[in-house]
């Protein structure tokens, strides 16, 4: 299975996110795009989503989203990881899409890989419709912990027990397996890390009727001004 090294990707310095008892919708400042990735409209019940593509003919042949993580977050702390996704081209294959969870170990930065799609082969993703990953940090979910010293099909509960004190320094959602089945073009929205949900909207998403697209949180909005005000106040 071909994997790109997440350590070769330039990432931003991650800012701390205040964890609250209730769900928090993160603003645009809480993520960055890399490779062949862009913001498109519409998203999942909202104005915007991240489009991530892996193509043999479009450099750099991979793309993804880097997500902020709270300072001090450990593997033991990570109990929710999910996203909504829709394939516009291709399907899941070759270990892509996947979450790459960068972990600080005694041997340096390693990655825990959590794949998207039907287990155990992670192929045959539904095309043309939005699908939820479900909670990929469920204790019974299978993950690839080989870089940490575990196995490819390891229960997440085993990983939390064995490596729970390791701090997480970054999380990326990566698409990079055009070679396994042609171009992969995936829309991604509502990426949830514990109680923080990252969407891909900003005040600009409210314009030109965009405010009417919100059919779920943080909407619906009564008008464009209410939508713009929400983002102007930092997502409140």
* pLDDT band of 30, cuts 50, 70, 90: confident
DSSP letter at 124 equals -
My answer on whether 156 and 130 are in the same domain is: yes
In a domain, 195, yes or no: yes
DSSP letter at 153 equals S
Within the chain, where are the H helices?
Answer: 156-163, 224-232
Other C-beta atoms within 10 Å of 96: how many?
31
My answer on whether 227 and 130 are in the same domain is: no
From 23-27, 56-60, 138-142, 172-176, the region with the lowest mean pLDDT: 23-27
- Tell me the per-residue pLDDT of 227-236, one tens digit each, with 9 for 90 and over: 888 878 766 5
Whether residue 12 is predicted with pLDDT greater than 70 in this model: the reply is no
- Tell me the per-residue pLDDT of 108-154, one tens digit each, with 9 for 90 and over: 999 999 999 999 999 999 999 999 999 999 999 999 999 999 999 99
- Give this prediction's pTM: 0.81
Mean pLDDT confidence for 88-98: 97
* Separation of alpha carbons 21 and 233, rounded Å: 20
* Separation of alpha carbons 60 and 199, rounded Å: 24
My answer on whether 40 and 143 are in the same domain is: yes
Whether residue 17 is predicted with pLDDT greater than 50 in this model: the reply is no
My answer on whether 149 and 217 are in the same domain is: no
In a domain, 143, yes or no: yes
Considering only residues 68 and 2, tell me which one the structure prediction assigns the higher pLDDT.
68
Q: What is the CATH number of the domain that holds 57?
A: 2.60.120
* Separation of alpha carbons 170 and 203, rounded Å: 26
Mean pLDDT confidence for 195-201: 90
Q: How many domains does one find in the chain?
A: 2
Residues 232, 224 contacting (CB under 8 angstroms): no
From 27-31, 76-80, 170-174, 190-194, the region with the lowest mean pLDDT: 27-31
Whether residue 72 is predicted with pLDDT greater than 50 in this model: the reply is yes
pLDDT given at position 155: 97
Whether residue 167 is predicted with pLDDT greater than 50 in this model: the reply is yes
Tracing tokens 């713009």 back to the chain, one arrives at 228
My answer on whether 197 and 210 are in the same domain is: no
My answer on whether 164 and 154 are in the same domain is: yes
My answer on whether 125 and 213 are in the same domain is: no
Considering only residues 89 and 3, tell me which one the structure prediction assigns the higher pLDDT.
89
Of the chain, the percentage scoring pLDDT greater than 70 comes to: 86
Whether residue 156 is predicted with pLDDT greater than 90 in this model: the reply is yes
Phi and psi, residue 199, nearest 5°: -110, 180
Whether residue 6 is predicted with pLDDT greater than 60 in this model: the reply is no
Mean pLDDT rounded to a whole number for the chain: 87
> What 3-state class would DSSP assign to 25?
strand
State the residue range of the domain holding 90: 23-201
My answer on whether 135 and 60 are in the same domain is: yes
Whether residue 15 is predicted with pLDDT greater than 60 in this model: the reply is no
């Amino acid at each position: 299975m071909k994997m790109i090294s997440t350590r070769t990707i330039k990432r931003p310095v991650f800012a701390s996110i205040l964890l609250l008892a209730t769900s928090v919708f993160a603003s645009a400042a809480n993520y960055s795009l890399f490779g062949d990735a862009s913001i498109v409209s519409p998203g999942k019940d909202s104005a915007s989503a991240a489009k991530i593509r892996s193509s043999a003919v479009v450099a750099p042949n991979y793309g993804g989203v880097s997500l902020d993580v709270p300072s001090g977050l450990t593997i033991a702390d990570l109990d929710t990881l999910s996203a909504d996704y829709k394939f516009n081209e291709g399907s899941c294959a070759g270990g892509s899409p996947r979450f790459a969870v960068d972990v600080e170990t005694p041997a340096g930065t390693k990655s825990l890989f959590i794949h998207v799609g039907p287990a155990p082969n992670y192929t045959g993703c539904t095309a043309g419709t939005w699908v939820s990953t479900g909670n990929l940090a469920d204790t019974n979910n299978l993950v690839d912990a080989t870089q940490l010293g575990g196995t490819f099909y390891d229960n997440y509960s085993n990983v939390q027990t064995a490596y729970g004190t390791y701090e997480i320094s970054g999380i990326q959602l990566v698409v990079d397996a055009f070679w396994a089945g042609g171009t992969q073009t995936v829309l991604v929205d509502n990426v949830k890390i514990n109680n923080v949900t990252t969407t891909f909207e900003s005040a600009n998403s409210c314009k030109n009727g965009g405010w009417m697209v919100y059919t779920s949180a943080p909407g619906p909005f009564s008008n464009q001004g209410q939508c713009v005000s929400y983002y102007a106040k930092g997502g409140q």
